[in-house]
Chain A
């Protein structure tokens, strides 16, 4: 019986060890990440936007998206509302949308697209590694490996990724990739930035844009709220915003905090290797304890048998 137990113990240990091997990379991957030093970004100045939707049209053209339901010079879209009064959002046909917010300072227009987080939750939540944060700052997506679990959509704190539900054979995630393939890779600004007639958006190195944003706040007293949205939110984003009114009045979530979303998940991830290493020994121990009387009895039986002849 003792021999059998030892063998069983080894088997249990081996199984656990095999599991530990497959999972050990997890711990390494969840370390904190400061962001690429020379990554690019865009500074959006909400006070300059007039809601002309030129950026939407440029995006549609650049990304070869299907024709919109209403033309880009139709401004009735600003009054469109979802089932519970929510404004337009990014869809599989539109990677960026402009919405109008009526505030005490008059109408404010806000362009909305993927913010290209420094530590993107979509990326960390993806179990097939479909997302990449490039050194240039873009968060890009590989449709060839995507299984379609849509965890990235659940995980995105900004409700950005959309999904082509209409496709039966090749549905994929649809989101802004900062024109990576056609422009950013070659050092050129995204199509929307270049198309804007109001110079709402400034393209540049993220660290320079942070300085520029704070300069504008300092040089124009009273014009801006003293906050650069995206500088620190969820660990920082490549797209950052200046606004003349409180950010929560113009559709920004101001409750997200400055930690990357992944910090919430680490509580669980940290526990994984412990379970993998401690559980096998612990439960084998429990088994030996729980069955010790049986084992003793069997041993006794064997001894008695041994004495008989």
Chain B
């Protein structure tokens, strides 16, 4: 892509009308980013990352198909003791907190009126939408009978269950997030009406997003309160589990947003406009500030839970060491790095911290769901086919993410409303 930009081809598409007065872009031209099909194929083939994705698909897609043909037993260890494996530990419990950026950015910009975060708001919303969407995809791979996904909504209701709340809220929140991204899509498609409608209800959408996020992020944690004897006491707390999951989702979402914007800065710079490029560093520090506050809060509540349950003794066991490792690498070190980055105005350092924060979330969720789960029993190591399916679904997430970033006005402002960030 860089090469074509250098050659002065009229790309990338960033408005409805061709730059040299050649009429308006057709949908096909917009999909191909303004390149000819041959040029577009060339960009695809030249990117080594696409070869990696292709390799994952060649081995992964048949296994995904076989999961539905032969059943879950073919791809997992079919464990009765570990009913939840990597599909949920990674796909649901990790993806959802990393997608909290949607409601965080909505709250910051729409609710608290911090218009300075506007340039990165849409990236936050998109990160949220895709994360949730693919969490549902992971769930569909994991459910025994995925075609019954709507049963808790319409067929047989169990409203007293925590998972009922998760199901309803994730479903509702997905539609909220789709609505929040309608403006970006309608600009790209050249339609005015949808954007206007959404704009008029944006505060309502944002508040709905906060309520739904508070509850389902917390509910994911509360799911583990059904298994008090199974989750190791250090990762378990009936009083604080949902608060732990909620507060860690706050910095999880912000860290993920920094990570994604960093990846975009490295690999999709051609797609960013000057507003985004210039505001990225200060905004990274702004996000870092939010993330570090959440991390600090989380750390306090984590310690509080240990004190409240009088679990100090466990800290001096092997499990305790592992628990402290998780907190140190995933929270304390990134917190220190964030603080230093903010004080010394070093966005690069904040990016390192954000990568660690994302790792910390993944570690915590996988620990709670898999490693510290059944701590009195044996350890479950996911089957290779299970790992492969996770890789394949995640690769699809990356492909879709990249495709949308390349097209919709997320990293750049759609021209047509001169110089103003639409929304």
Contact = CB atoms under 8 A, between A and B. Distances in A.
A294 B110 CA distance: 13
A283 B225 contact: no
Given A127-B152, A267-B239, A255 B229 contact: yes
Interface in B138-182: 142-146, 148-149, 151-152, 155-168, 172
A150 B163 contact: no
A22 B172 CA distance: 12
Contact of B143 (A16, A147, A161, A261): A147
A268 B222 contact: yes
Given A89-B80, A154-B230, A283-B210, A171 B239 contact: no
Contact of B80 (A130, A148, A153): A153
Interface in A158-189: 159, 161-163, 165-172
Given A128-B158, A147-B145, A268 B68 contact: no
Contacts of A130: 156, 158
A216 interface: no
Main secondary structure on B side of the interface with A: helix
B318 interface: no
B283 to A, nearest CB: 18
Given A145-B156, A150-B84, A11 B162 contact: no
A21 to B, nearest CB: 11
A19 B161 contact: no
Interface in A222-279: 253, 255-256, 261, 263-265, 267-269, 271-272, 275-276, 279
Contacts, number: 221
Nearest to A5: B203
Nearest to B67: A168
Contacts of B157: 128-129
A265 to B, nearest CB: 5
Given A25-B159, A147-B151, A149-B163, A283 B207 contact: yes
Given A25-B159, A84-B378, A154-B230, A279 B214 contact: yes
Interface in B297-345: none
Nearest to B240: A267
Contacts of A171: 71-72, 144-145
A160 to B, nearest CB: 9
A60 to B, nearest CB: 18
Interface in B46-90: 68-73, 76, 78, 80-81, 83-84
B204 A151 contact: no
Given A159-B80, A264-B228, A287-B203, A166 B151 contact: no
A165 B81 CA distance: 13
Contacts of A167: 71, 73
B266 interface: no
B227 interface: yes
A284 B230 CA distance: 40
Interface in B198-227: 201, 203-208, 210-212, 214-215, 218-219, 221-223, 225-227
Interface in A98-134: 121, 124-130
Given A126-B158, A150-B83, A16 B72 contact: no
B215 A168 contact: no
B238 interface: yes
B348 interface: no
Contacts of B112: 286-287, 290-291
B69 A286 contact: no
A129 B144 contact: no
A184 to B, nearest CB: 23
Nearest to B214: A275
A133 to B, nearest CB: 13
Contacts of A86: 377-378
A290 B226 contact: no
A271 B246 CA distance: 13
B414 interface: no
A121 to B, nearest CB: 6
A65 interface: no
Contacts of A284: 203, 207
A26 B160 contact: yes
A154 B83 contact: yes
A124 B161 contact: yes
A127 B156 CA distance: 8
A145 B228 CA distance: 27
Given A12-B207, A267-B239, A125 B113 contact: no
A243 B163 CA distance: 37
Given A151-B161, A167-B71, A268-B225, 14 more contacts: A11-B203, A83-B378, A124-B161, A124-B226, A126-B161, A128-B156, A145-B155, A165-B72, A165-B76, A264-B238, A265-B222, A269-B162, A275-B214, A290-B114
Interface of A: 8, 11-12, 14-16, 19, 22-23, 25-26, 29-30, 82-84, 86, 89-91, 121, 124-130, 142, 145-151, 153-155, 157, 159, 161-163, 165-172, 253, 255-256, 261, 263-265, 267-269, 271-272, 275-276, 279-280, 283-284, 286-287, 290-291, 294
29 contacts: A11-B203, A16-B207, A23-B159, A26-B165, A29-B159, A124-B160, A124-B226, A125-B163, A128-B151, A129-B158, A147-B143, A147-B145, A147-B149, A148-B144, A149-B142, A149-B143, A150-B83, A165-B73, A168-B68, A171-B72, A172-B144, A268-B219, A268-B222, A269-B162, A279-B211, A280-B211, A283-B207, A286-B112, A291-B113
Which 7 residue pairs spanning A and B have beta carbons closest together?
A148-B144, A84-B378, A29-B160, A165-B73, A165-B78, A150-B83, A168-B71
Interface of B: 68-73, 76, 78, 80-81, 83-84, 107, 110-114, 142-146, 148-149, 151-152, 155-168, 172, 201, 203-208, 210-212, 214-215, 218-219, 221-223, 225-230, 238-239, 241-242, 377-379
